[in-house]
Amino acid sequence: MLWCAVTVYAVAFFALGYVRYAGHRNFVDLGIFAQTTASAFGCFCNSIEGSHWAFHFSPILYAVGAVVAVWHSALALVAVQALAGALTAPPIYGIVRRYADRKTALLAACVVLL
């Protein structure tokens, strides 16, 4: 049941992100990170900041850069964000399950998804 909730969360938030992206493709923040991840294995730069390293230490963007290298779209960032948000629930379930029953652990995981 938990993995079903995680899947529904990821799909729903990707769909919401897709609708947002379809309506407003010119979001500055999404554009900056799309440029940065697209150049992750090169200059790691964008048109606003120049070198992203001059402003942020974001080595996790290399993993996202690998996704963008395969899927050449800012929607790759939306998908990774939706998946990352969804994957916060299983560890919480595991932590709570260690000290409580399954029902309480599932409830805690569902609260995290909310």
Mind listing the pLDDT tens digit for each residue in 15-65?
999 998 888 766 666 778 888 888 989 898 888 888 888 888 888 888 999
Contact of 53 with 46, CB cutoff 8 Å? no
Max CA pair span of the chain: 51
pTM flag (> 0.85): no
Mean pLDDT of all residues in the chain? Answer: 90
Contact of 77 with 68, CB cutoff 8 Å? yes
Domain boundaries, the chain: 2-113
Residue 84 has pLDDT above 90, yes or no: yes
- Give the C-alpha separation, 26 to 24, whole Å: 5
Burial class (CB in 10 A: 0-12, 13-18, 19+), 42: exposed
Q: How far is CA 106 from CA 10, 43, 90, in A?
A: 17, 43, 9
- Give the C-alpha separation, 77 to 10, whole Å: 13
